[in-house]
Amino acid sequence: MRVSALSATAALVVATLAGGAAPAAADTPAGPVLQVDLEAGKGLHHNVGTVFYERVDGQVNAVRIISVHITSGERDCAWVSWNDPHNVNDWTNLTSEPSCNGTGLEERPDVVIKAPAGHPLKVRLAGDHLGEVVHKDIEKL
């Protein structure tokens, strides 16, 4: 009888220790870091972008944008945005400014984007010259 009482006590101690480790586990990412590559235009108008993100654990249709990388074409300005269902223009930028004239841009917005269930989350690389969007690539997250 003492052995089973000792086993129960040991199990309780192990469960308590495991429970104490839970807050540290909550600080870890919800899942693997995922990547979506975007490409639009050719030649001097060749724009590329990469979005690194992770799914938000326990939330439907939500992802955390970790970083956005853009390199614009030599004659373009390019930016990455997401299909925001709450924006009257349908798209919200994920970077604070575009990348222009062949330069690179990297930002780490660390922002969670959300949409209602059934609204597929997408990102878009758009390139323009002279104020007109002429190249774009859209990929689902």
75: Cα within 13 Å, side-chain hemisphere: 10
Query: Which CATH code of 3.30.450, 2.60.40, 3.30.70, 1.10.3470 fits the domain covering 34-140?
Result: 2.60.40
Domain boundaries, the chain: 34-140
State the pLDDT at residue 16.
41
Q: What's the pLDDT band for 57 if we cut at 50, 70, 90?
A: confident
Exposed (0-12), middle (13-18) or buried (19+): which is 68, by Cβ within 10 Å? buried
State the pLDDT at residue 137.
95
State the pLDDT at residue 30.
57
Percent of the chain beyond pLDDT 90? 68
- Reported as a single tens digit per residue, the pLDDT across 6-28 is 444 444 444 444 444 433 344 44
DSSP letters for the chain: -HHHHHHHHHHHHHHHHHHHHHHHHHTS-SS--EEEEEEE--GGG-EEEEEEEEEPTT-TTEEEEEEEEEE--TT-EEEEEE--TT-TTS-EESSSS-EETT-EEEE---EEEE--TTS--EEEEEEEETTEEEEEEEEE-
Average pLDDT over residues 37-63: 94
Judge if pTM exceeds 0.85.
no
Neighbouring C-beta atoms of residue 42, cutoff 10 Å: 10
43 vs 6, higher pLDDT: 43
Exposed (0-12), middle (13-18) or buried (19+): which is 19, by Cβ within 10 Å? exposed
Q: What's the pLDDT band for 126 if we cut at 50, 70, 90?
A: very high
State the pLDDT at residue 132.
81
User: Which residues are 87's β-sheet partners?
Assistant: none
- Reported as a single tens digit per residue, the pLDDT across 72-113 is 999 999 999 999 999 999 999 999 999 999 999 999 999 999
User: Given a cut of 60, is residue 135 above it in pLDDT?
Assistant: yes
Q: What is the largest CA-CA distance in the chain?
A: 84
